Amino acid sequence: MYHQMLIRLADRRVQRFLFRRSTKDEPSIYVMDVAIFGSKSSPCSAQFVKNRNAMEFAVQYPEAAAAIVEKHYVDDYFDSVDTIEEAVQRAEQVKLIHSKGGFEMRNWVSNSGVVLSSLGETRAVQSIHFNQDKETGNERVLGIISNTTQDVLSFSTEHRKDCKIICRASGSRPSASS
């Protein structure tokens, strides 16, 4: 997401860096013209840009715009609705709004194959787990572990003697996240 956000010309000077191929060479000065990982302002800037883009579509797609503002952190989206039809409509609208701002939503995860196929995702594509929890093999979204097969959400915690863990299976509400 950060590399989709151009930095104003006047602000680019603070993103200068030196590079040289050899210690014998003089360093060259380069400037990043997009937001960068590691910059403290990038997450805040990303939130602002994402929300501003969503608000431009609030009249046309009110639920999707609200979902972008309220159920996103930078480029992670986590949502749940009551029906598959609502999930498909919301996810498609969220994806459309983001595309209008130059952001491509991909790597969707859902407990519904219908939702995934409507978004152009397949179960085969999901076998590539960039956000996979190493211990359980389940997808992780914003620190939450989602087992889409069993439709169960959980959290990973350190084992402590004084820690009580409550397990609760989710209902069969369709969900989508990216």
Give 29's strand partners.
18
162 CB-contact burial (10 Å; exposed 0-12 / middle 13-18 / buried 19+):
exposed
**Per-residue pLDDT at 128:** 35
pLDDT value at position 7?
81
Token pair in block for residue 132: 């996979």
Q: Look at residue 149 in the predicted model and tell me its pLDDT.
A: 74
- pTM (2 d.p.): 0.65
DSSP 8-state symbol, 28: E
Instruction: Give the single-character DSSP code of 30.
Output: E
For every one of its 178 residues, what pLDDT tens digit does the chain have, with 9 covering 90 and above? 777 777 888 888 888 889 999 999 999 998 888 878 777 778 888 888 889 999 999 999 999 999 999 998 777 888 889 999 999 999 999 999 999 988 888 888 888 888 988 988 876 433 333 356 566 666 555 566 667 777 776 766 555 555 555 554 444 555 556 5
